[in-house]
Amino acid sequence: AQTVTQSQPEMSVQEAETVTLSCTYDTSESDYYLFWYKQPPSRQMILVIRQEAYKQQNATENRFSVNFQKAAKSFSLKISDSQLGDAAMYFCAYRKYGGSQGNLIFGKGTKLSVKP
Amino acid sequence: SQTIHQWPATLVQPVGSPLSLECTVEGTSNPNLYWYRQAAGRGLQLLFYSVGIGQISSEVPQNLSASRPQDRQFILSSKKLLLSDSGFYLCAWNWGRGKNIQYFGAGTRLSVL
Q: How confident is the model at residue B39, as a pLDDT?
A: 81
For B99, the domain range is 3-112
- E strands, A1-116, in order: 3-5, 10-14, 19-21, 24-26, 32-39, 46-52, 60-61, 64-69, 74-79, 88-96, 105-106, 110-115
Number of domains in chain B: 1
Distance CA B22, CA A13 (A): 38
* Contact residues, chain A, for B57 at CB < 8 Å: 101
For A11, the domain range is 3-115
Q: Is B84 helix (H, G, I), strand (E, B) or coil?
A: helix
For residue A9, what is the domain's CATH number?
Answer: 2.60.40.10
Strand partners, A91: A37
* Residue to substitute from B56, B93, B100, interface A, most A β-carbons within 10 A: B100
Q: How confident is the model at residue A99, as a pLDDT?
A: 62
Contact B101 A35 (CB under 8 A): yes
- Digit-by-digit pLDDT tens for chain B (113 residues) are 788 999 999 999 999 999 999 999 999 888 999 999 998 767 788 999 998 999 998 887 678 999 999 999 999 999 999 999 999 999 999 876 555 788 999 999 999 99
Distance CA B74, CA A31 (A): 29
Contact A45 B92 (CB under 8 A): yes
Contact A103 B97 (CB under 8 A): no
